[in-house]
Amino acid sequence: MAAMSRAFRAAVTVPLLVLLAACGPDTSSSGKPQAGAASSAAAPGSAMPSAPASGAVPGGAPAAGASAGAQGAPADPAAHARQVVATLSDADLAGQVLMPYAYGGSATDVDEAAAAGNQTIAGVRTPAEMIAKFHLGGLILVAFTPEDPTGKTNPATNVDNPQQVRTLTDGLQAAARALPGGVPLLIGTDQEYGVVTRVKSGVTLLPSAMTFGAGGKPTLTRGAWRAAGEELAAMGINLDFAPVADTLGPQGNTVIGSRSYGADAKANAAQVGAAVRGIEQAGVAAAVKHFPGHGHTTGDSHEGLPVVRQQLAQWQQQDRPPFAAGIAAGASVVMSGHLDVEALDKGVAATFSHKIMTDVLRTSLGFKGVAITDAMNMAPAMKWPAGEAAVRALNAGNDMLLMPPDLAGARDGILAGLASGSLKRERLVEAVTRILTLKFRLAAKPQPALTTVGSPAHQRAVSAADAAAVTVLRGRCQGPLVTGPITITTSEGRETARADLTAALQAAGLTVQPTGGTIVHLVGYGDKQPDLSPAAAVTVMMDVPTLLAQAKSPTLLATYSSSPLALKALAAVLAGKAKAPGKSPVAVGKLPRTACAK
């Protein structure tokens, strides 16, 4: 933990100064090295290998999340939830709908930098004290990295490696069990993989969603996400804010990008459904996002309110199908987007729209689970004071509020709404009953042992998905794509990707040298035309492949991700040991979606 503490102090100092200067307690992959020491995770996966499920932590401790004092409780999670909700005070109910973040890699032992961050958020020193003070229903684990498109709302870093995360989540659950009702905690994270990945060290890294879209094999998607979910469950994370169900429009969207499975709604629906099934089968709640769809706007909801100008029929054809598929596959959670979808409720952000979050989501799509807001410290949600925004979001139909910018303000606003009648108690009880039903259901699942994390079975499941996605957009389709020694070049800051590809090519029997070889040039998230190399014989895009339309190399490939296993799959294709069966799930200028696959 000493190394974690040193890295944490480095990661937290600058974001905390920015946070304090912004007059608010909460403000909220590239293959480039990541700033900060840690990350956080959540997701399921495995081709079908089932992880060792011990329901106990190493040493025989009870499974994290198991509720205390449950003897005699109804076996049905919904009945149990109703029974407990009937005993909760208004303050307990208000706390259950809140899911903030916290500073510190331990529930109870934090350094002074983390303590200062928690004082700003909640007037406490530790995450455990935050849970106790506000009777919290959930906590999100976060990791600050400057290249992350969600980084503006994630100024803290409290995850590092599987053992640290497991110890942290065990401590958080212990704090929750001491609350009235002994209700377990929802512990979530954005483990989408690709450019939005919280826990990176020691886990099986899935590629981006777009990689699965390029592979076009939902069975592989389901297996990989089950592996990921089993690893999250082993670390004590029971809610993954994934998969992204947004369909990319013709102009794309830089904040979504490779987080989406692609531009075809029907294909995306199959992929989202598969990912949800994998995650949920692993005993982790999947959250499809960003409802009702963030792909058909070029705006970034972290910075303002994007406007989606589709007609209703277009929304139904282009954006609705992946969300409907995720819900049909059993997604426990739907995350609202801070989006002005004019065809559904013009001028109103979806998070605060009863028409969208109740009429469309509940009535039309038939969703019965937990609806959670996108981060409430994003610009469109900060139009009102935290208390008013909380009440508006709950009245719209959200059940849980993610990352409120003023935790006490949100809690007090909910209590004031109950007192004034602007928030009906029945609505709050409905929300908390849904939340507790989900938590009791998740807590009944045995927790895998930490030994499942990074297991060979998980590596195989994810490797199969990576291999299915490699795409040749220009160049040969048979035999080695490069001959003789190879020199790998990259756009600025991609030393990790360079090192991973070097190791993979050498393992495949190829020679890699610093200069003088056939140039294979890597580009990725955020790169533009000046980042291309005119001298490259091969250019590889490790993100949305649209930049390849401007590349002059005779051979163009896409992996859609810079994960180690994605680059291993690339090496096999370059060496002629494997074919490139993938097809780009988005248009790439005048290039074909594939030069090789049928």
Decide: 567 and 559 in contact? Cβ < 8 Å.
yes
- Tokens read off for 426: 């029945």
Q: How do 555-558 and 538-541 pair as beta strands?
A: parallel
Residues 466 and 271: their CA atoms lie apart, in Å, by: 14
Amino acid at 31: G
Residues 240 and 191: their CA atoms lie apart, in Å, by: 6
- Tokens read off for 245: 């169900």
Q: How many CB atoms lie within 10 A of CB 515?
A: 8
Residues 596 and 580: their CA atoms lie apart, in Å, by: 7
- Of the residues 80, 135, 296, 302, only one is catalytic, namely 302
Amino acid at 343: A
Answer positive or negative: Cα dihedral of 179, 180, 183, 185: negative
Side-by-side strand order, sheet with 285-291: 138-141, 186-189, 239-240, 285-291, 333-336, 370-372
Decide: 575 and 508 in contact? Cβ < 8 Å.
yes
Give the DSSP letter of residue 29: -
Residues 253 and 224: their CA atoms lie apart, in Å, by: 25
Decide: 428 and 93 in contact? Cβ < 8 Å.
yes
Residues 410 and 406: their CA atoms lie apart, in Å, by: 6
- Tokens read off for 517: 């070889």
Pinpoint the alpha helices (H) of 295-424.
312-318, 320-328, 342-345, 354, 386-396, 407-420
Residue 421's region, left for phi above 0, alpha for psi from -120 to 50, else beta, is left
Residues 524 and 542: their CA atoms lie apart, in Å, by: 5
Choose among 417, 272, 375: nearest CA to 330: 272
Q: Reply yes or no on whether 399 is catalytic.
A: no
468 phi and psi angles, rounded to 5 deg: -70, -15
- Cα 141–Cα 246–Cα 298 angle in degrees, nearest 5: 100
Pinpoint the alpha helices (H) of 151-291.
162-177, 209-215, 218-235, 265-281
- Of the residues 246, 264, 340, 374, only one is catalytic, namely 374
Residues 581 and 214: their CA atoms lie apart, in Å, by: 9
Q: Reply yes or no on whether 302 is catalytic.
A: yes
Q: How many CB atoms lie within 10 A of CB 5?
A: 19
Residues 224 and 232: their CA atoms lie apart, in Å, by: 13
- Tokens read off for 488: 């790998």
- Tokens read off for 453: 């994390």
Q: How do 471-474 and 61-62 pair as beta strands?
A: unpaired
**Which DSSP string do the residues of 2-71 spell out, in sequence order?**
HHHHHHHHHHHHHHHHHHHHTTSS-----SSPPSSS-------B-SSPPPPB-SEETTTEEPTTPPTT-T
Catalytically active residues, by annotation: 302, 374
